[in-house]
């Protein structure tokens, strides 16, 4: 009798389909509740519950601590138990703990409040969830008839705070409906890091200065406000989340406000402000018209009246106000009228073509004349990226100070990840790419990556052309096609960027052209959800990074790549040459030279010793020290220094000391390879050398 070929079930262990499914499966997201209670017997009990959005997947009855040890040691012992138990549970069930709520009843919360030493272990369990399990931790007071009921309540609560349809542990961005204040980390309920973690990543002189300035701000009761257009998407928002997180840990009164979104206004601010300033368009249809000015100004003033104006307790009580972009600059005169004593700093965060802004009749000139003459000229200080060529005409040099953009070593974009975490996010990326009709990242081939918004200034067509040239060179060298690296093009979107979809579709159209279609199967293109860890993981897994921006202020993605010891091939554009040491930490190519980019990719890929030279240099303490100026603690010192020097409250004489000396420095990078005797100073120079 012939043997019957048995069919396997997809769920049957050992079947080919099962093995394939497990290889590509994305761990099921679950949300964890942890409840703690201090009993009458003098011990802490814990309970856990996990929730997937429809049912409770797991309950763990109380973990009981040893009553023979102190309460602090009880909590530390239970921390080890809970982390170990949760890790084993998630691994054995192929679950992904996206977020966790650690809570207690009011009685236990009161005991912890009365004994500050007990707060440290509670905070420690939260930070261990963040760093050890990549789960975003929250703290909340719970109610329930039993400990397990409180744990279930915590699990449901944390599920509501997140966005379950997006893989990745990013809480929903909360904005106060009364004032449009961004309630960072769910208004402080999320607790991912402690001050000690920031201290561990910062050199001692910088850290000591940060604590000194924070103490001064608290002593003088200074109130610092940031204003911009959006709470998520883009470099400004990611910096402000990190800044507010650190300021809160320091006890500094620092708040962040955003405007109510208006898509019609965002079309104006992106295409007729941002793109025009950068010089990426010369189409007259993007010239700012009177009706554009009226709509934009009306939107700004409505936001001011509805959320920040008189009686709102926002502007009228502020000491230092930082305007983080031109999109809300029309509120500056209103600030001046409501609170004349407030000191206003304007931070210019994009590349402004100062050369074009100086040409009478150009779109850049007319736009800058409108914004500067009516609004920005009323500020006390103009903060620019450290590129003098970005500072347009009519800005007095004595009002200018230089400050680069920053990123955060401890947030989801940069924190260390285990190989298992990176693999998980690779699968998530592949799911996102597949949903958008793009191939995913292979497990057995290296890849190059450019992380950037889909924006006309980011040079994405040049990246694709450089990759095509590189692939042709590999084929000419006889390298087998299955050994050719892939290319990954990805980034987040932003609510104030109407160009994202347009540029994404242009990329797809480019890949369909006969010149590029042979390589399209190896080019992964994806607009990603708002998951910081997703970007972090795909960057950590890359062979090297590209940044072929034609126009760039100061690209934090370059900083993030270098901090992960990935050499960067970039155009010599804007502020990027200030971030890369050519031939040591990366390779700088003249703008538009795609042949040069392809040649650089070839040498990095084919010459292992050459590649390792870059990687080893990026691991040195010297490079780590240089990068510190581009991270949150250093940047926070800059802001606190400016606040303490500019603010009138408690120290009115200090305000007269804050203006930079225009003759104090010999040369400033112009953004086109030149260095001129321009006369601007970095903010860091003032506090590092002790000058005023």
Q: Looking at residue 417, what is its pLDDT?
A: 93
Q: What is the 3-state secondary structure (H, E, C) of 245-263?
A: HHHHHHCCEEEEEECCCCH
Question: What is the pLDDT averaged over residues 528-532?
Answer: 84
CA distance 636 to 198: 11
In this predicted structure, the answer to whether residue 645 has a pLDDT above a threshold of 50 is yes
In this predicted structure, the answer to whether residue 559 has a pLDDT above a threshold of 50 is yes
Q: Looking at residue 688, what is its pLDDT?
A: 87
Helix (H), strand (E) at residue 129: helix 119-133
Class of domain 419-630: alpha beta
Neighbours of 501 (CB within 10 A): 12
Paired strand residues for 357:
none
Q: What are the pLDDT digits (tens) for 474-507?
A: 999 999 999 999 999 998 776 667 778 888 899 9
Q: What are the pLDDT digits (tens) for 66-99?
A: 777 888 888 888 888 889 989 998 888 889 999 9
Q: Looking at residue 73, what is its pLDDT?
A: 85
pLDDT band, residue 300 (cuts 50/70/90): very high
In this predicted structure, the answer to whether residue 2 has a pLDDT above a threshold of 60 is no
In this predicted structure, the answer to whether residue 553 has a pLDDT above a threshold of 70 is yes
Question: What is the pLDDT averaged over residues 18-42?
Answer: 75
Q: Looking at residue 19, what is its pLDDT?
A: 45
Q: What's the burial of 114, exposed, middle or buried (CB within 10 Å: 0-12/13-18/19+)?
A: exposed
Q: Looking at residue 660, what is its pLDDT?
A: 40
Whole-prediction pTM value?
Answer: 0.90
- Domain boundary assignment for the chain: 25-172, 202-406+634-688, 419-630
CA distance 245 to 532: 16
Question: What is the pLDDT averaged over residues 561-573?
Answer: 96
Question: What is the pLDDT averaged over residues 111-132?
Answer: 89
- Percent of the chain exceeding pLDDT 90 equals 62
CA distance 101 to 35: 8
Q: Looking at residue 180, what is its pLDDT?
A: 96
Highest average pLDDT, of 241-245, 349-353, 399-403, comes from 241-245
Question: What is the pLDDT averaged over residues 419-426?
Answer: 92
pLDDT band, residue 124 (cuts 50/70/90): very high
Q: Looking at residue 147, what is its pLDDT?
A: 87
Which of 147 and 165 is assigned the larger pLDDT?
147
Per DSSP, 45 falls in state E
Question: What is the pLDDT averaged over residues 531-548?
Answer: 94
Q: Among 172-181, 332-341, 349-358, 451-460, whose mean pLDDT is lowest? A: 349-358
Cβ neighbors of 491 (< 8 A, separation 6 or more) are 451, 452, 453, 454, 527, 528, 535
Q: Among 1-15, 364-378, 381-395, 579-593, whose mean pLDDT is lowest? A: 1-15
Q: What is the mean pLDDT of the chain?
A: 87
Q: What are the pLDDT digits (tens) for 603-633?
A: 999 999 999 999 999 999 999 999 999 999 9
Q: What are the pLDDT digits (tens) for 27-36?
A: 888 999 999 8
Report phi then psi at 471, rounded to 5. Answer: -65, -40
Same fold, 202-406+634-688 and 419-630: yes
Give the strand pairing for 253-258 and 136-141.
Answer: unpaired
pLDDT band, residue 681 (cuts 50/70/90): confident
CA distance 398 to 588: 32
In this predicted structure, the answer to whether residue 3 has a pLDDT above a threshold of 60 is no
589 by DSSP, 3-state: which?
A: strand
- Angle, vertex CA 616, rays to CA 613 and CA 620, nearest 5: 135
Q: Among 168-182, 248-262, 420-434, 656-670, whose mean pLDDT is lowest? A: 656-670
Query: 306 vs 166, 314, 317, 452, CA distance in Å?
Result: 32, 11, 16, 34
Cβ neighbors of 611 (< 8 A, separation 6 or more) are 544, 567, 604, 605
CA distance 199 to 221: 24
In this predicted structure, the answer to whether residue 472 has a pLDDT above a threshold of 80 is yes
Contact 180, 257 (CB under 8 A): yes
Contact 31, 159 (CB under 8 A): yes
CA distance 24 to 10: 13
Q: Specify the fold of 202-406+634-688.
A: Rossmann fold (3.40.50)
Of the candidates 101, 11, 12, 9, the one whose C-alpha atom is nearest the C-alpha of residue 48 is 101
Class of domain 25-172: alpha beta
């Amino acid at each position: 009798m012939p043997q019957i070929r048995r069919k396997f079930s997809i769920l049957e262990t050992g079947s080919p389909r099962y093995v394939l499914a497990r290889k590509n499966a994305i761990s099921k997201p679950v949300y964890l509740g942890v409840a703690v209670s201090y009993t009458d017997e003098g011990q802490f009990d814990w309970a856990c519950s996990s929730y997937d959005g429809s049912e409770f997947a797991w309950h763990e009855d109380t973990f009981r601590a040893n009553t023979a040890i102190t309460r602090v040691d009880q909590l530390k012992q239970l921390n080890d138990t809970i982390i170990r138990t949760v890790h084993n549970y998630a691994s054995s069930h192929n679950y992904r703990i996206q977020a966790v709520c650690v809570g207690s009843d009011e009685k236990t919360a009161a005991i912890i409040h009365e004994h500050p030493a007990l707060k440290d272990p509670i905070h420690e369990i939260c930070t261990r969830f963040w760093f050890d399990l990549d789960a975003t931790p929250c703290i909340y007071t719970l109610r329930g008839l039993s400990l397990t009921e409180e744990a279930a309540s915590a699990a449901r609560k944390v599920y509501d705070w997140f966005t379950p349809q997006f893989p990745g542990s990013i809480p929903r961005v909360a904005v106060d409906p009364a004032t449009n204040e961004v309630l960072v980390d769910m208004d402080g309920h999320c607790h991912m890091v402690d001050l000690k973690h920031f201290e561990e990543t910062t050199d001692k002189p910088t850290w000591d200065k940060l604590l000194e300035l924070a103490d001064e701000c608290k002593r003088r009761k200074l109130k610092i406000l940031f204003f911009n257009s959006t709470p998520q998407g883009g470099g400004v928002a990611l910096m402000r989340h990190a800044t507010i997180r650190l300021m809160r840990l320091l006890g500094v009164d620092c708040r962040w406000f955003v405007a109510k979104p208006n898509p019609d206004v965002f079309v104006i601010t992106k295409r007729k402000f941002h793109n025009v300033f950068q010089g990426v368009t010369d189409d007259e249809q993007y010239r700012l018209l009177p009706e554009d000015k009226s709509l934009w100004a009306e939107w700004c003033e409505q936001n001011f009246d509805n959320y920040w104006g008189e009686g709102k307790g926002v502007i009228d009580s502020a000491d230092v106000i930082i305007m983080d972009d031109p999109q809300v600059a029309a509120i500056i005169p209103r600030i001046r009228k409501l609170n004349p004593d407030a000191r206003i700093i304007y931070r210019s965060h994009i590349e402004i073509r100062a050369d074009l802004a100086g040409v009478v009749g150009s779109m850049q000139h007319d736009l800058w004349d409108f914004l500067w003459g009516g609004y920005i000229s009323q500020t006390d200080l103009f903060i620019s990226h450290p590129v003098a060529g970005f500072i347009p005409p009519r800005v007095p040099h004595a009002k200018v100070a230089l400050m680069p953009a920053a990123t955060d070593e401890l947030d989801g974009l940069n924190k260390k990840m285990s190989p298992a975490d990176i693999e998980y996010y690779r699968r998530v990326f592949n799911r996102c790419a597949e949903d958008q009709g793009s191939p995913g990242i292979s497990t057995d081939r290296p890849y190059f990556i450019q992380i950037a918004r889909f924006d006309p200034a980011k040079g994405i067509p040049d990246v694709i052309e450089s990759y095509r040239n590189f692939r042709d060179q590999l084929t000419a060298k006889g390298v087998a096609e299955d050994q050719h690296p892939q290319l990954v093009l990805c980034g987040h979107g932003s609510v104030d960027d109407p160009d994202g979809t347009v540029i994404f579709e242009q990329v797809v159209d480019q890949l369909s052209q006969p010149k590029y279609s042979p390589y399209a199967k190896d080019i992964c293109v994806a607009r990603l959800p708002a998951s910081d860890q997703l970007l972090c993981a795909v960057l950590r897994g890359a062979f090297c990074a590209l940044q072929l921006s034609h126009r760039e202020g100061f690209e934090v993605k370059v900083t993030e790549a270098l901090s992960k010891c990935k050499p960067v091939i970039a155009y010599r554009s804007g502020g990027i040459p200030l971030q890369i040491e050519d031939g040591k930490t990366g390779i700088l190519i003249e703008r538009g030279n795609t042949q040069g980019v392809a040649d650089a990719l070839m040498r990095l890929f084919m010459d292992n010793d050459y590649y390792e030279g870059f990687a080893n240099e990026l691991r040195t303490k010297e490079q780590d020290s240089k990068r510190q100026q581009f991270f949150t603690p250093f940047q926070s010192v800059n802001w606190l220094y400016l606040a303490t020097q500019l603010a009138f409250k408690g120290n009115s004489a200090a305000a007269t000391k804050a203006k930079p000396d225009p003759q104090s420095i010999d040369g400033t990078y112009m953004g086109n390879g030149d260095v001129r005797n321009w006369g601007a100073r970095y903010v860091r120079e003032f506090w590092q050398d002790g000058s005023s």
